[in-house]
Structure 1
Amino acid sequence: MGLYFPLPSGRAFFRRAAGRLCDGRLVIDHLCESLNMSYLSPYLEALGTDFTNGANFAISGAGTAPRNTAFSLHIQVQQFLHFKQRSLELASRGEAVPVDAVGFRNALYLIDIGQNDLSAAFSGGLPYGDVIRQRLPAILSEIKDAIQSLYYNGAKNFWIHGTGPLGCLPQKLAVPRADDGDLDSSGCLKTLNAGSVEFNGQLSSICDQLSSQLRGATVVFTDVLAIKYELIANHSSYGKS
């Protein structure tokens, strides 16, 4: 299931509860702004939606597994396929639709998922090696399957985000520990960040593999961990105290 998160819910920027898992905008919001687009409407929001520039199928707290639970990555892909089928159905009848066949073909498909799965695996008490050997392959397999499913249904342009530095999350740092031996020079947990690095390395390799295998597709991987860790490690350089 998706998770309900209380305030601030984006209030600092939107001045109202905006369904954001932060006090302002998300990466997708900044992306839309940089392209002079309106913010994407959630697919499951019944009122006031505008899918002219695309749709957001993400759900807070979602993961890749189990794949048949509500709002898993697999279910989100199925929701997208239903959205596309219905849109093209209406277009074939001459009705106005926010996204037509050309729009779906030329769209950018952004996937950012896996951190919740990785976080849950480590929180479950599994040793580091077991998380890497047992859990990581299943998470990555679901992401790979999602990309392939979208591709075989017409998607060509993919932007895949790696996970952030799990060991820098306040949630993880707040867990009681015997000592600070696992903390790095930036105050982050080295073991959890090592897991994040391993996840991103394998996901990057999958993206390279799919780029060469899926004819006509562009699959771009972004190392979110490197970007976020740079902000944390050198925060003063970016005007943050």
Structure 2
Amino acid sequence: MMNNSRLMFIIGSNILMLVATVGGRGQPGQAKPACNFPAIYNFGDSNSDTGGISAVFLPIPTPYGNNFFKRPSGRDCDGRLIIDFIAEHLGLPYLSAYLNSIGSNYRHGANFATGGSTIRRQNETIFEAGISPFSLDVQTTMHFDQFRWRTHDLFNQANSSMEREKLPMADEFSRALYTFDIGQNDLSAGFRKLSNEQLKTALPDIVNQLAGSVTHLYQQGARTFWIHNTGPIGCLPVATLYIRNPSPGYLDKFGCISSQNEMAMEFNNQLKARVDKLRIELPEASLVYVDIYAAKYGLISNTNKHGFTDPKKICCGRHDGDLNIWCGNKAMVNGSEVFGGSCADPSTYVSWDGVHYSQAANQWVANLILNGSYSDPPMPVTHACYKHL
């Protein structure tokens, strides 16, 4: 049952979206029509992976997906991700993962994101560190390019409309929305391997590599980009779960690791500056920078106000004292098998499994960002194809 505060928030957000869509930011009576995107092409990590890593390696198990899809759906969540809410808002189907060859439909886009992906390639294995081999350059310069070439050939070779109905049309690539949600794993890998000073020194190269991927897609005809910055990684329960007796200042007043969030904010500041520079380098592109950090931190710092429980609590898994069973896993405890299952009401939790947000939290964040309130320039996703409104 949705509580009154969250209901009023969603109603208010929808009103803002209507105002932004109808009135834009231009003169009265001069509002521009919605962009009518024919497709979405997404690049990122587990925050927007709709089945890629699950198709390539071990499938994500139950209870993932059970709260909405009623089964595991390849998402690291109990239900939908922010990219799913973007697709819904634009009237498009949920994105099929590029790496999932079974039952996929690519007529209205494809998802190249995979759990564990980084912007820069890492010298770690996926089994040791949760790092995907499909870094951003692989997603954009290998997977996307091959997808475009092969679907173009298949479309031209098709003998019937039935054969074409799951393939994109060549002239629609330039009118599609290209979304990015990546960078969190670069920081988490850096926290494991580097000093803070070394990681800070590496940030410009990480940001430039993301910009290089945007530039490559632009050269292939992409024109509209919706780029998320990275969230408050120091607030993830997986980062704070094992902390005992922290020194003064190590945690902020909301229980987040201050140094990790400061690094995330530095990454975001550099990313925003680089997006500004890309607007000059790519004159025909519309580039929207989305402040996911502010949206997520706003929720974490005001959970009670918005009807959520303590953001440090984890919905799925068992974490009691020295007992740590991660979501969907099993362990023997005192001779009995114990399963890391779901809490009774995921809709009241910010964190689903300690690393990823719940569907309810994803929807809360989506309601904030879709109307352009957290974007630069401030425009709703429906109008992202315009440089200015």
Amino acid at match of 2:71: R
Question: Which deviations, in whole Å up to 9, do the C-alpha atoms of 1:94-113 show, x marking residues without a partner?
Answer: 65362112210100000111
Alignment of 1:1-12 (within 5 A): 2=53, 5-12=60-67
Q: Is the 8 A contact 2:107 2:169 kept in 1?
A: no
Alignment of 1:72-91 (within 5 A): 72-77=135-140, 78-91=142-155
Which is worse superposed, 150-159 or 4-13? 4-13
Q: Is the 8 A contact 2:118 2:135 kept in 1?
A: yes
Shift of 1:177: 5.1
State the match for 2:223 in structure 1: 156
Amino acid at match of 2:179: L
Aligned pairs, number: 239
CA distance in structure 2 between the partners assigned to 1:211 and 1:94 by the alignment: 38
Residue 53 of structure 1 pairs with residue 108 of structure 2: yes
Shift of 1:218: 0.7
1:235 is paired with a residue whose SS is coil
Counterpart of 2:254 (choices 177, 186, 204) is 186
Question: Which deviations, in whole Å up to 9, do the C-alpha atoms of 1:103-143 show, x marking residues without a partner?
Answer: 1010000011110011110122x22222111x212321221
Alignment of 1:32-181 (within 5 A): 32-66=87-121, 70-77=133-140, 78-93=142-157, 96=164, 98-124=167-193, 126-133=194-201, 135-176=202-243, 179-181=246-248
- Judging changes above 3 Å, is the alpha-carbon distance between structure 1 residues 130 and 197 closer, same or farther for their aligned structure 2 residues? same
CA distance in structure 2 between the partners assigned to 1:123 and 1:236 by the alignment: 32
Q: Is the 8 A contact 2:175 2:222 kept in 1?
A: yes
CA distance in structure 2 between the partners assigned to 1:51 and 1:75 by the alignment: 19
Counterpart of 1:207 (choices 266, 270, 275) is 275
Q: Is the 8 A contact 1:159 1:221 kept in 2?
A: yes
Amino acid at match of 1:85: W
Higher RCO (CA < 8 A, seq sep 6+): 2
More helix by share: 1
Amino acid at match of 2:143: Q
Shift of 1:194: 0.3
1:55 is paired with a residue whose SS is strand
CA distance in structure 2 between the partners assigned to 1:67 and 1:99 by the alignment: 32
CA distance in structure 2 between the partners assigned to 1:64 and 1:229 by the alignment: 23
Q: Is the 8 A contact 1:67 1:73 kept in 2?
A: no
Shift of 1:35: 1.9
TM (norm. structure 1) is 0.92
Q: Give percent identity, aligned residues only.
A: 40
- Judging changes above 3 Å, is the alpha-carbon distance between structure 1 residues 24 and 93 closer, same or farther for their aligned structure 2 residues? closer
Any unmatched runs of 5+ in structure 1? none
TM (norm. structure 2) is 0.58
State the match for 2:364 in structure 1: none
Amino acid at match of 1:143: L
2:67 is paired with a residue whose SS is helix
2:75 is paired with a residue whose SS is coil
